[in-house]
Structure formats: structure tokens, C-alpha cells
Amino acid sequence: MVRWSNLIGMARIQGPAALGEVPLLYLRNWDIRQKTSKVCWRPERSELRDKSIHMGAALRQKPTDYFSRDQIRALRKRSSWHATWLLVHCWGVIVATWAVCALWTNPLVVAVGVVIVGARQLGLTVLNHDGAHHLLYSNRGLNDWVSEWILNRPLFGASVYGYRKSHLEHHKHTQQQGDPDLVLSAPFPITKESFRRKVWRDLSGQTGWKQRKEIFVSAFRRTGGPISNRFHRAAYRLGPNLLINVGFLAGFAACGVWYLYFFLWLLPSMTWLLFISRLRNIGEHACVVDNDDRLLNTRTTRASWLERVFIAPYWVNYHLEHHLLVSCPCYRLRRAHRILMDGGHGPAMDLQPSYAQVIRLATAAA
């Protein structure tokens, strides 16, 4: 099991620019004050010789330890129709919320709209996560195009390739020394006061502003060569994103409510989205029971219908099931959960009844 004191001592922390093409939304729980987003290990030579240090018991467990081969085949089956329906549903909820707020514009309706749109923006990242695993469409070109242009670019993300590379390392070394996301779960548990400060930074837009600024700064960062190369790189990285968002703004303006673009697209992406992304990340790996057991180094949270609407869309709460079978599309994760329960694995799994309980676990530090 990883000792957190050793983790901090052995890690070399890099800033968000080290993630290159990783979309903004996958700098999950990026803490502005400590400015950390990735852990790069520098092990001793003896550790390099001892492969067991980099391959815990969790990595030696297999999907067939929990599912039959027939079940695995059924769970891995992709449905282009189902993926398309989820895309239509996610964007449909967003556009419908825009329409309602445009027709009945008042502070209460817009406030509810911010929360609904922010939750669906997380839904876009959940579907992009499936795209990173090639689970949206069997045609990989279509899969990656949809991930970039329908899911990432509207939220100032980029291609799926950078995130895919980092995320697969997370699956390969979950809660082990090579896990690039380990720095996100390592600080927990924290105090309630520390958690309140993080929540305030998220909901007040401080976290979002810092992240968004870093996206623009990194796009123009000097990397050698003539200055024109920097502008070409920035235009390729940000140009399509800006054009898509100008299109959104033009649509609102055509309806006579141009200001709602800022309240119902930018504001949710810089506040509610980041807050529930933090909750999502805490729910997935913070304060897990055993880093070396696949049933215990990742958590599933049983979300109520209200939590599914506002916090955990598209079955993202079934994270343990995803780690046990990464080739399972999000719309089959609930079925995977039932199979595990019916197979008697429930008592051995890290399951929590709600996100409120997860927060209590994460804020248990004195």
C-alpha cells in the first residue's frame, strides 16, 4: 500500500501545462493554491528492478475473477444507437434549459438552469470518457471526432488523445505509484474547514478562472521556433473552441437574450461543473480502503435520482464497475453492478450509500 508521506517525498509535481492536450475538464480537482495536476515518479534503481513495487495485487486481478466470459461479452457490447441517444439527450437537456430560461427569465429560473446545465456539462465529460476508451462508436475515427468536436471543444477542451494517454495510465496503475491521478486522492481525508474552502473556490469561480486562464496561457507558451509558430499553435488549439462559443453567443443574441450565454454556459462551466467534478473525484478514489485490492481501491456510490440529475449523470457513480471492466460502456455499468451483487461480491466492495456519506469520509481529518 502506498504511504502518502513517501508519495509526497518521491513525487515531482508539474503544472497543468505538463498535460499538453488534456482537456480542461480533466484537470479534476485541480487545486489552484498547490498548483498540482500530475505526479511524475523518480524511483530508486532498486525499485526499478523490483517490478512488484509498480504492480500491486490490484493489477494482478482479472475481469474473469468477477464476471463470466459470457457476461463480459454482453457487457462489452457497444451500441451506436445508445451512444447517439445519450449525446442527443445531453445536448437536448442543455438546449431545453436554455429555452426555458429564455422564455421565463428570472433569477430563480436562471439559478436552477445553471445547476442543470453544469450537470449536463459533466455529462459531456462522462461521455467523452467513454470516447477515450473507444466505447462510443466502433468506428474509431467517428468515435474520436465526436469526442473532440461534440464533447470537448465546446468546453474549451481539445482532442481526446492526450486525455486517453494519461487516463489509461490511471487504469494501469490505479492507486499505485505510477497513477497520474494519485495526487488527486492523496490529500484526503481533509478537515471540514479545508473542504469548505475548496467548495467556495469552486462555486465562486476562482478555480474555474485560474484553469481557464492557464488554458489560454499554455496555448501561447513559448516552445522554441519563430513567434508565428506560437500563434499558429494557439489558433489551432483555441480557434475552433472560440468559434463554437461565438456560435452559442450568436444564437442567444438572435433570441434577444445574449447575456444568457454567460449565465447558462460559461458560468456553469466555471462553477457548478467544477464543484461536482470535485465530488465525483472524491467519490471515486479518495479515502479508499485498500490500494492493492481492485474491489477496494475504487468506490461505487449509490446515487439517488436527485444526485443522478444534479451530480452524477450517465451512471458515472458506478466507478468500481468501470475499473473492473474498462471496456464496458457507461450504459451497461448498472447491469455490471447487479451482476456483482448477485455474484456475492457486494460485502467485499467499497460501496457508499450517497455522496453525502462520501463527503463525511473525506472530511474526517481532525
The DSSP letter of residue 43 is -
Domain residue extents for the chain? 80-180+198-362
Q: Which residues of the chain have pLDDT under 70?
A: 1-60, 222-225, 227-228, 366
Give pLDDT, residue 30: 31
Give pLDDT, residue 68: 96
User: CB-based burial of residue 101 (10 Å sphere; 0-12 exposed, 13-18 middle, 19+ buried)?
Assistant: buried
The DSSP letter of residue 316 is T
Give pLDDT, residue 225: 64
**Helix, strand or coil, per DSSP, at residue 38:** strand
Residues 6+ apart with CB under 8 A from 70: none
Beta bridge partners of residue 38, listed in sequence order: 14
Report the C-alpha gap between 118 and 101 in whole angstroms. 14
Residues 6+ apart with CB under 8 A from 121: 25, 94, 155, 268, 269, 273
27 close to 211: Cβ distance less than 8 angstroms: yes
Provide the 10 A C-beta neighbour count for residue 43.
14
Relative to beta strand 38-41, strand 11-14 is: antiparallel
Report the C-alpha gap between 190 and 300 in whole angstroms. 20
Residue 108 backbone phi and psi in degrees, to 5: -65, -45
